[in-house]
Structure 1
Amino acid sequence: MASDADPVAVSTMFQNLYKLYKESNNCDLLLLAGDGKRFNTHSFLICAAVPKLRAKIIENSKKGIMKLRVQEVKGRELELVIQFAYLGRCDLDEKDCGAVMELIRAAAYLQIDAMEKHVLRIFENSLNMELALKVHLDKSSNYLKKASPTAEKFVLRHLLDDVPSSISFEDFKALLLDDRLQASHEEKVWVAIQGWIRADPERRAACLVPLLSTLRIGFVEPDFIEKLVEHELVTHNTNALNCIHESITLAQSYHEPTEELLLGQLPTVVRPRIPHVSILAIGGWRTGEEVCAMAEVYDHIANKWTNVASLQLDGPRSYHRAEVIDGIVYVVGGSDKEHSMKTGVKLDLSTFTWRPICSMHHGRCFVSTAVMDGHLYALGGRESSEERLKAAEKYDPKTDTWTKIANTLQCHSDAAAAGLDGKVYLVGGYNGTEVMSCMECYCPETNTWTLLPPMNKPRSGLACIAHRGHLFVFGGFDGTERLSDGERYNPKTRTWTALAPMNIARSTFQIVRVGDIFYAIGGYSQKPVADVEAYDSVADKWYTLSPMLQPTSAMACAAFDNLSFSESVWTQTSRADPSISLRDFLIEYPPFHPEDEPLPEGSLGVHHPNFLEPLPMPWNDLFASESMDVSDDDGVNYEHDEHINEHLFDDSDFSSDHEDD
């Protein structure tokens, strides 16, 4: 019976062959590169490893010709191809953009699939803007087509952070017009335009007006427009001022669009870009429906929610949690109303399907989760009406296994958790007797929990998120009433600072982050709510956004970066349809902040100064007209089903007297 080959022996054999090649021993095939470089090789190995040359080598050998010219490949690339043929690897300088591109071409031309995949991995891991642009803009070769999608996504995602001064006007403008360009704020587009023009002001000043036309003026704040028209590149340029005025006038017409406007396509100035980051809300409690399996996706650029039926969970689930690891959404724990659930699922974003993962050791309703170093931590929760857990475990996506870790110091149900700087923090919750303010910190290296300074007030059903070296907590239930305020913890000073309150008090809601903006979604406030708010973590301010499609509490939410997913949900076609994607321009949005702007320092127990300072409603002052009715009523019916039976949505509501009822 034949046994498997010993990989060590095979590797040694090919290393010896490569040594013979390097010494030109027993070589019988001369390969000539396109630039004239010569390589003595072993015909049998090149014939086996390079499909494109195989037939020609066999044909020539029958004629006694052991020389072959590879005109399309230069010597530098052919040498690396030969090395890969012998060793299955090549010593490529990953920083040499030209070499990477040429080797991708060579591998594709020579039909060496394994080498092409190998170099594409190198290409993806070492990608920079210079290399990505070269591949993205190269239209002359079909041999780069497998690298083009990766390069395009990189360019669209990072262009505004690193605009090459050498990029041509035509290519720069085309990318700025692309709906898929990642621009958290249109102000970043203007910053990029300034930088490109200043690289060669004499030649590029004339390009200002057409580049200004790429700005989505409908998505900027009035104070930005004031700064724009006063900018040195604009203020004395009549054509530029006219361009801005025309864009503003056109954008204003879409604040209350006529039926005629709604029949046409959205112009650039008011067409939202496709978000790279999507926000998914799944499961939870809904008014009149109890536990559900729903799936809604939020577009934070257009401020729109949509139902995605194909993303619904296989069954109803509430009080569960969702986390993202390496672009994959994981959902664990929760309750189907009858049982605390051990099971978990993960979302295949390419096929919109949920797949099961290994079950946890415990059923966990009101579970808290966090991600740290590629692992998902499931902490505490309630396994039964009488049993709240100290038990904790972590999930390894690579092996699909759960491993028990040290128990928490106290029982935590309906708490919140986050990973920060190599540690996992668990805060608040309910222990079966009281709502807690305590916080514990887990160190994976020592497998130990440590008590840290508590919050300023007890909270269960709260939300927690880590950002810029701090922990942020908001809302929850203190045992008497639901909360709207927040606190921020600084691990370096071990202190808590009070933060601006949300516009509504809520518990069992979710918070996700996109950049410096946190999104508070749904929750419970005497009944399930659909309210969505955005928190500007730099300015310590809250903004009211478009609500969910239905009031939902105890759902799980996740924000994930996947442009292909966004394109499939928010298609280019929908971006041209005002009825689907026209943004409500009377809603105020968080402003643009430079990336290096620090978080407000505040003081212990005191809100950041002026956190309630009113901001002007966007466009009102700039576009005030008699025909525009600006009112507080946004036309949304916030009156939910008044006949819903009261349910007890927070674990801390399940006191013994409630359970006896």
Structure 2
Amino acid sequence: MSGSRKEFDVKQILKIRWRWFGHQASSPNSAVDSQQGEFWNRGQTGANGGRKFLDPCSLQLPLASIGYRRSSQLDFQNSPSWPMASTSEVPAFEFTTEDCGGAHWLDRPEVDDGTSEEENESDSSSCRTSNSSQTLSSCHTMEPCSSDEFFQALNHAEQTFKKMENYLRHKQLCDVILVAGDRRIPAHRLVLSSVSDYFAAMFTNDVREARQEEIKMEDVEPNSLWSLIQYAYTGRLELKEDNIECLLSTACLLQLSQVVEACCKFLMKQLHPSNCLGIRSFADAQGCTDLHKVAHNYTMFLADMENNALFRDDIECQKLIMEAMKYHLLPERRPMLQSPRTKPRKSTVGTLFAVGGMDSTKGATSIEKYDLRTNMWTPVANMNGRRLQFGVAVLDDKLYVVGGRDGLKTLNTVECYNPKTKTWSVMPPMSTHRHGLGVAVLEGPMYAVGGHDGWSYLNTVERWDPQARQWNFVATMSTPRSTVGVAVLSGKLYAVGGRDGSSCLKSVECFDPHTNKWTLCAQMSKRRGGVGVTTWNGLLYAIGGHDAPASNLTSRLSDCVERYDPKTDMWTAVASMSISRDAVGVCLLGDKLYAVGGYDGQTYLNTVEAYDPQTNEWTQVAPLCLGRAGACVVTVKL
């Protein structure tokens, strides 16, 4: 092959290479940013905003490495920029056969087909021109090329974890099951290991758990573990007062540092004199130094008091301070810290009032009050008229006497007694005449429940609005109830037992003022009409009553007492009273339940006994001035 032919081939090849690789970028910035991802190029930007691309001459490499040789190398190392090369600036290069051996694409094989060299040269030139034109034409019609591009999906991790969460929800592709208590939680080892150092160490080392399909999590609360597994997939976690301690202890075990930090900050916001010592102890047990420090500083005021000169040298005073501090700051231990000093002062527990009832004169109008300090009953006032089977409730430290019967007719009237001024006032009447009703106050309003209107047993309920000063009906009970026991517990109104006209009831239902619905609860073990009802420490007590109307020869009066726990929806029998009491008045005073008066089948009783829930024992206290059954008994803070 002649030298001119080599020179032509080199020039032609370089033209093609520069047309392919020496163009400008399509825009000053090749990077493209969108919601889906980012693009960017590796080239350098020129002064005109385009992109300069390196031709072979701009590299500090022997040109022989790309198939041709020249006398010296081009050195642009000290140049401020790498200029574009043009075909006119490219010198002619001399190639040898050895040079072309490493670049076969530069060679055109010579074929002896009987034609002359000129014809071959013409054909070759024509062929090269045709091929070059085709290549250049295709390059000319293409969009401007750029260097390598990279794409990054900005929401790739989010979309991936959403799919993983969906797999978790449908229990797909799960390769491990975590067992906590009686709960089995499927999950993916890869996700758990990427979030938790605890699981990463477990699954990436040669330990027994790494090969097990089921892993038992000892001493881990199941709901907290499930919440943290969901957090591993979603990055979201709900912190509440009732789950924060379990979440924090489980997060410490699983080495979830971000969750531990969030839980500690949550507990810092919850610090209070009633829980600061408990939180400090809990933080110390979990190794949460920041939380422990904050909780400790919160309690430092007590330490300052210990150094006060007034208390420092008085040993007895220091003991009293420590006793009071433990009692008030550790509410969960109060049952174990009971002493004469922990009982409420008698002047702060209120005064017990016994209002009206049936006596030997067939209708008492008197009101007595019980003084806990002197253990004595004293008459204080009289109602304006005779009332039997009425209801009484305390609202704003005043006694509201509602409904009843006067011996001739059923009443719908309401009166209010102020113990401080010892005066009576008339209130707006109920919409319905009622006797044998139950009355209680729930979240401000007063409720009149069931009863008898003189013709039929009632399942209707009215509510007194003290702001609007009017009565309104609310949802009706599922069963008509007269001589019903009514009490308030945990934001709900309970209607217990009573009579429906044919028999005494053992059914119980509760009213939710927020949904305006009654819901049936577990039944008592015995039928009870004329039952006394009160509450203490989250429990509902049903005391005394009768199991059938008096006309029934098998009717029996009851001395039995049972207790209802709304958490378990179960009734449990407790210690019985010393005697049977029907139509007994029941109320809580201090930390004891008082059963006042009643009827034992022969006598209207004036005896009173008190029940201590902590010892499960009944004791006799001072008797009433007047024996009475069906007295309404309430506590008023004076």
Q: What TM-score bracket applies, with the shorter chain setting the length?
A: 0.3 to 0.5
- TM-score normalised per structure 2: 0.46
- TM-score normalised per structure 1: 0.44
